[in-house]
Chains A and B, each alone.
Chain A
Amino acid sequence: MEQEPRRGVLTVSELTERIKTCLEGEFRSVRVEGEVSNYKLYPSGHRYFSLKDEGAQVRVVLFRGRERFIFGEVRDGQTVVVSGSLGVYEKKGEYQIYAQSVEVRGLGSLLLELEKRKARLAAEGLFDPERKRPLPPFPERIGIVTSRQGAVLRDMVRVARSRWPAVGIVLAPAQVQGEGAAQDIAAALAALYARGGADLVIVGRGGGSVEDLWAFNEEAVVRAIVASPVPTISAVGHETDFTLADLAADLRAPTPTAAAQMAVPDRMETAERVSGLALRARRAERNLRETLRRELRIAAGAMADPRPHVQARRYELAKETDALVLGAQEVLRRGRERLLTLAHELRLLPPSAWVSRKRGEVAALQERAGRRISAAREEPRRRLGMFQGKLSALDPTAVLSRGYAIAVRRSSGAAVRSVREAVPGEKLDVRVSDGIFGAVVEREKS
């Protein structure tokens, strides 16, 4: 049985459609001032609240992605100006404002307050460049204060571990936005300091609105960062965001991921440095061994039979001495000849001035001969001293002072050069730098 539609009667949908057309056409762009209530951020990222005054209220939605257009810290009871358009939700018969932006009234005074706070803390010296400490080059453990949820912590852990797998990580989770966030961050930092053991601390969070980052402008956070016993890195939001926490930290990182990168060294670079050092140690040790071995070989050679050396030197010495003596004898012989000639001339000629001159010549010759003879006596002694010096430089025991020892068989006096020559039970004389002691071969060892 079909009912005829009565004249002047609309269906619910028809009515709603007309309301929608009417409202959405009329209120395409509105600015409304009111007090915030039931402010709520949903996991979807959308924000819902009601705007009210003494007589009425209207629902407001701020979609995900528009949080950048929140100016100031929005919370219940706050007076804000919402800009947006009116929308009708047919299924529930409701209308609401789709917000494009939300401005907190008196934001101007909030920023002014921030500037005042900054000046006050700066005057205390909390932001002084002289306070900045360098980061430890190889931190054993790093402390992190951030939200336990979300990609920020995950990215920081991943980056730090990929660069330096051995680094220990202590997380002090904190609520990084909203009511009480500043106190929570300060308490997390204090818990980290109390636990100890961290060589540096990263404090931060990911990007968000000015409102989201606001906790990092609070005095409690600034003072907690300044109180850190170890160097701190701030990592708040994106590169363009600046907070008082950044001024208080020893180092400001543009992003949390960059902070993790700055915090730990690169494993590959450091591994190259370590293996380079090990290589240099091996090379130096090998060179040293070769030098010592060479010295030992020379010394052992000399010790085995010093006689050829000594004989060669003795022969050399005798030859030199002979040459000297022969030389002196020659001078004497010539002097005598000259003397005989002069005596002959003297007998033939009358004494005169010539005679006294010749006498002087004779005296000079005699003196010269005498000098040569005494030189001939001294020279061998001097040269002997020189050779003794050379010999002692070859003294094999000199090298013993470096820690070598020479073992000889007591029975034969032969040096033991190999394990194969060491017979268990055999008595040895072991020569070290300052003497000889007896020893017995205990057992073979290879």
Chain B
Amino acid sequence: MAKGKEASFEEALQQLEAIVAKLESGDAKLEESIRLFEEGMRLSGICQKRLDEADRKIEVLLRKPGGVEREIEDESGILDKEG
């Protein structure tokens, strides 16, 4: 994971699973268990946030002479378009 970048959903979920397994084993020390629990709650928050957020934007790569142009289109633009 790149520094400063929030964990991806998959990374967060894997870490959360590992932490829960460690907490459930019961052999963590006091500070460690508190740290693990807080980290677990933070990760489940990230997961929840990623589940709740909606992108609603589509990046369109338009090939033009001399390269590719990027264009951001609102999803409703694509969804409303009739074919």
Chain A contacts to B: CB under 8 angstroms: 136-138, 140, 148-154, 157-158, 161, 165-173, 187-188, 191-192, 194-195, 267, 270-271, 273-275, 277-278, 280-282, 284-285, 287-288, 291-292, 402-404
Q: In the complex, which residues of chain B have a beta carbon less than 8 angstroms from the beta carbon of A168?
A: 55, 57, 59
The 8 A-B pairs with the shortest beta carbon distances in the complex, nearest first, are A150-B83, A403-B30, A284-B23, A165-B54, A278-B44, A281-B40, A285-B37, A138-B10
Q: How far is the CA of A291 from the CA of B75 in the complex (A)?
A: 52
A230 CB, nearest partner CB in chain B, Å: 14
Q: How far is the CA of A280 from the CA of B70 in the complex (A)?
A: 44
Not counting A168-B57, A288-B23, a sample of 20 additional A-B residue pairs whose C-beta atoms are within 8 angstroms of each other reads A138-B13, A157-B58, A158-B79, A165-B53, A165-B54, A165-B55, A166-B50, A166-B54, A170-B58, A170-B60, A171-B78, A172-B63, A191-B63, A275-B44, A278-B40, A278-B41, A280-B24, A281-B16, A281-B20, A288-B33
The answer to whether B9 and A140 have CB atoms under 8 Å apart is yes
Q: How far is the CA of A287 from the CA of B30 in the complex (A)?
A: 12
The answer to whether B26 and A288 have CB atoms under 8 Å apart is yes
Tell me the nearest residue of chain B to A144, going by C-beta.
B58
A200 CB, nearest partner CB in chain B, Å: 13
Tell me the nearest residue of chain A to B45, going by C-beta.
A278
Q: How far is the CA of A420 from the CA of B54 in the complex (A)?
A: 49
The answer to whether A284 and B13 have CB atoms under 8 Å apart is no
Q: In the complex, which residues of chain A have a beta carbon less than 8 angstroms from the beta carbon of B68?
A: 191, 194-195
The answer to whether A274 and B8 have CB atoms under 8 Å apart is no
Query: Could you write out 24 A-B pairs with CB less than 8 Å apart?
Result: A140-B8, A154-B83, A157-B78, A161-B75, A166-B50, A166-B53, A169-B57, A170-B58, A170-B61, A171-B60, A171-B61, A173-B60, A187-B63, A191-B63, A195-B68, A195-B70, A270-B51, A271-B48, A275-B48, A277-B44, A280-B20, A282-B37, A285-B37, A287-B26
The answer to whether B16 and A274 have CB atoms under 8 Å apart is yes
B34 CB, nearest partner CB in chain A, Å: 8
A416 CB, nearest partner CB in chain B, Å: 19
The answer to whether B78 and A172 have CB atoms under 8 Å apart is no
Q: How far is the CA of A267 from the CA of B37 in the complex (A)?
A: 24
Q: In the complex, which residues of chain B have a beta carbon less than 8 angstroms from the beta carbon of A166?
A: 9, 50-55
- The residue that B61 contacts in the complex, of A167, A195, A284, A292, with Cβ under 8 A, is A195
The answer to whether B20 and A191 have CB atoms under 8 Å apart is no
A151 CB, nearest partner CB in chain B, Å: 5
Q: In the complex, which residues of chain B have a beta carbon less than 8 angstroms from the beta carbon of A167?
A: 55
Q: How far is the CA of A154 from the CA of B80 in the complex (A)?
A: 8
From known contacts A136-B10, A292-B30, A403-B31, infer whether A281 and B58 are also in contact, taking CB-CB under 8 Å. Answer: no
Q: In the complex, which residues of chain A have a beta carbon less than 8 angstroms from the beta carbon of B31?
A: 403
A201 CB, nearest partner CB in chain B, Å: 12
Q: How far is the CA of A267 from the CA of B9 in the complex (A)?
A: 12
Q: How far is the CA of A140 from the CA of B2 in the complex (A)?
A: 15
Chain B contacts to A: CB under 8 angstroms: 8-10, 13, 16-17, 19-20, 23-24, 26, 28-31, 33, 37, 40-41, 44, 47-48, 50-63, 68, 70, 75, 78-79, 81, 83
A14 CB, nearest partner CB in chain B, Å: 45
The answer to whether B58 and A171 have CB atoms under 8 Å apart is yes
Tell me the nearest residue of chain B to A164, going by C-beta.
B51
Q: In the complex, which residues of chain B have a beta carbon less than 8 angstroms from the beta carbon of A267?
A: 51
Tell me the nearest residue of chain B to A403, going by C-beta.
B30
Q: How far is the CA of A404 from the CA of B29 in the complex (A)?
A: 10
Q: How far is the CA of A192 from the CA of B59 in the complex (A)?
A: 11
A104 CB, nearest partner CB in chain B, Å: 27
Tell me the nearest residue of chain A to B51, going by C-beta.
A271
Q: How far is the CA of A151 from the CA of B82 in the complex (A)?
A: 7
Q: In the complex, which residues of chain B have a beta carbon less than 8 angstroms from the beta carbon of A172?
A: 60-61, 63
Q: How far is the CA of A137 from the CA of B41 in the complex (A)?
A: 22
The answer to whether B59 and A170 have CB atoms under 8 Å apart is yes
B77 CB, nearest partner CB in chain A, Å: 10
Q: How far is the CA of A152 from the CA of B51 in the complex (A)?
A: 25
Q: In the complex, which residues of chain B have a beta carbon less than 8 angstroms from the beta carbon of A280?
A: 20, 23-24
Q: In the complex, which residues of chain A have a beta carbon less than 8 angstroms from the beta carbon of B26?
A: 284, 287-288, 291
Q: How far is the CA of A149 from the CA of B81 in the complex (A)?
A: 8
Q: In the complex, which residues of chain B have a beta carbon less than 8 angstroms from the beta carbon of A403?
A: 29-31
The answer to whether A281 and B41 have CB atoms under 8 Å apart is yes
Q: In the complex, which residues of chain A have a beta carbon less than 8 angstroms from the beta carbon of B29?
A: 402-403
B52 CB, nearest partner CB in chain A, Å: 8
The answer to whether B79 and A154 have CB atoms under 8 Å apart is yes
B43 CB, nearest partner CB in chain A, Å: 9
Q: How far is the CA of A167 from the CA of B58 in the complex (A)?
A: 10
Tell me the nearest residue of chain B to A152, going by C-beta.
B83
Q: How far is the CA of A148 from the CA of B81 in the complex (A)?
A: 10
From known contacts A166-B53, A287-B26, infer whether A149 and B58 are also in contact, taking CB-CB under 8 Å. Answer: no
Q: How far is the CA of A157 from the CA of B55 in the complex (A)?
A: 11
Q: How far is the CA of A282 from the CA of B75 in the complex (A)?
A: 38
From known contacts A161-B54, A166-B55, A281-B19, infer whether A151 and B83 are also in contact, taking CB-CB under 8 Å. Answer: yes
